[in-house]
Amino acid sequence: MSDNKRIKTALISVFHKDGLDEIVTRLHEEGVELLSTGGTHDFIVSLGLPCQKVEDLTGYPSILGGRVKTLHPKVFGGILGRRDNESDQAQMFSYDIPDIDLVMVDLYPFEQTVASGAADEDIIEKIDIGGISLIRAAAKNYNDVVIVASKEQYQPLADILNQRGAITTLEERRWFAKEAFAVSSYYDSVIFNWFDGDEHSSFRVAIQGSKHLRYGENPHQNGVFYGDFEQMFDQLHGKEISYNNLLDISAAVDLIDEFDDTTFAIIKHNNACGLASRPQLVDAWKDALAGDPVSAFGGVLVTNQAIDLATAEEINKIFFEVIIAPDYDVEALDILGQKKNRIILVRKETEMPRWQFRSVLNGTLVQEKDLAVETANDLKVVTVTSPTDEQVNDMLFANKIVKNSKSNSIVLAKGCQLLASGVGQTSRVDALKQAIEKARSFGFSLEGAVMASDAFFPFGDCVQIAHEAGITAVIQPGGSIRDQESTDYCNAHGVAMVTTGIRHFKH
């Protein structure tokens, strides 16, 4: 028996009508009988096409303020009845239930209603009952029925109608069913999360859209990105974005969002290897690159300002993978686009998620994003020597970088320039020594520089090593039972130290 099935009767009830005229016209030309409700019925009739009202089929009007329209055995029996099951067919004949071979339906805009700030009673009314039931019924019986559950599936259906007429294959119907369950599962997850609020009683996350990547973190690993990358970025140029590119792009966005002043950052393996804030963008770029011109090779570049020609000419002198900016001058794009594989991204204004999650063992860890941003008012001076205004500015600058670096992390900065950082070390002393050695290797003097730590100093050794290297001011969370050791050393040597009370671990 052929897996191909002809559509003879279609039930259509949708909010989105763009493109619907082509579909219903083709269905009519193919001899398909049309069933519909409310506004969709009126739309089809306005095209001059015959269309039966669902209430004429069921014998019941829409009741309870529209809450019950299609919930009737003559509708669901026609969808769920198995065409090759004699018992099903006998019952359908007995109760005069027609086969329904195509269901086109979309759902009340629950998510949009919540986002609008509507009252609870209005949100409740946007929980779809009939639509979601029709979707599940038609998708369950994909062996015989085509389900179109979203305007995104209008075009695939139109293509089938134009190429083959009102005939679908089993493979096509199964694809439509899969897409339908994606719609229903997302919808239910959104509703659950609204009811659940901040209780986090169960982990339910549904993300629309996916992109298969060339590979994962390594070539032998498969990788997929779930989400809408185009909502955040326009890619103007370059090769396909990789798994590792996405990790660095995410780190770059998180970091640059910490800064209001004109700033340029260079990211490598999710950490900043160069960063500077300057009045002129080209100077911010030059000083960011000076922080570590070796690690900048193959990095991800990010700025919070439009790229001009002068800056593009300087950037063009090095090899990099990705550049992110809110805009580009035309001349700058001409320069940056000279290398065919360079990924050039324009960042759009997008609301970022407040929660983040990662798979661990046989479960998932969920936490709020670290959105704490310390200001001068949050700093507690714990030493006899108070920091100068310039030191406070540098400490807050360094603290933003250390917050976005892999723990254990130490950042050394001066004049709103990242001199060096030690990241991802198993001890804070090792992180500090790494930063000092790196700064010196690129010719930086640490005299008058500041040090930021992502967590407290368990002993006084770090402030001693830092002071001996030239550091004159320190910012750290505080909270160690040996805080006094660090404070005493600073007091004895004229080092200013402030605490924030906020730790910024990052793994």
The one-letter amino acid code at 258 reads E
User: Known catalytic residue: 140?
Assistant: yes
CA–CA separation, 347 and 250 (whole Å): 12
Rounded (5°) CA angle 391-394-396: 110
Close Cβ partners of 27 (under 8 Å, ≥ 6 residues apart):
7, 10, 34, 102, 161, 166
Distance CA 418, CA 438 (A): 11
In whole angstroms, what separates CA 304 from the centre of its chain? Answer: 19
CA distances from 73 to 84, 103, 450 (A): 19, 15, 74
Output Rg (C-alpha) for the chain, integer angstroms: 31
**Helix, strand or coil for residue 311?**
helix
C-beta separation of 36 from 44 below 8 A: yes
User: Which residue out of 269, 286, 433, 493 is catalytically annotated?
Assistant: 269
Please identify which residue in the block is written with the tokens 């008058």. 448
Percent of the chain that is helix, strand, coil (3-state, to 5): 40, 20, 40
Q: Does residue 467 carry a catalytic annotation?
A: no
Q: Are 506 and 370 in contact (CB under 8 A)?
A: yes
Burial class of residue 330, CB neighbours in 10 A (0-12, 13-18, 19+)? exposed
Strand partners, 53: 36
CB of 503 closer than 8 Å to CB of 480: no
CB 172, CB 160: distance < 8 Å: yes
Question: Hey, CA dihedral for 138, 140, 143, 144, is it positive or negative?
Answer: negative
d(CA 137, CA 452): 59
Residue type at 417 in one-letter notation: Q
422 vs 425: CA distance, rounded Å: 7
CA 411, 415, 417, 420 dihedral sign is negative
Catalytic residue among 8, 17, 53, 140: 140
Strand order in the sheet with 52-53: 52-53, 33-36, 9-13, 102-105, 146-148
d(CA 34, CA 54): 10
The secondary structure of residue 349, as a DSSP letter, is P
The amino acid at 196: D
What is the rounded CA–CA span in Å between residue 206 and residue 198? 17
Q: Which residue has the tokens 């004699």?
A: 86
State the catalytic residues.
140, 269
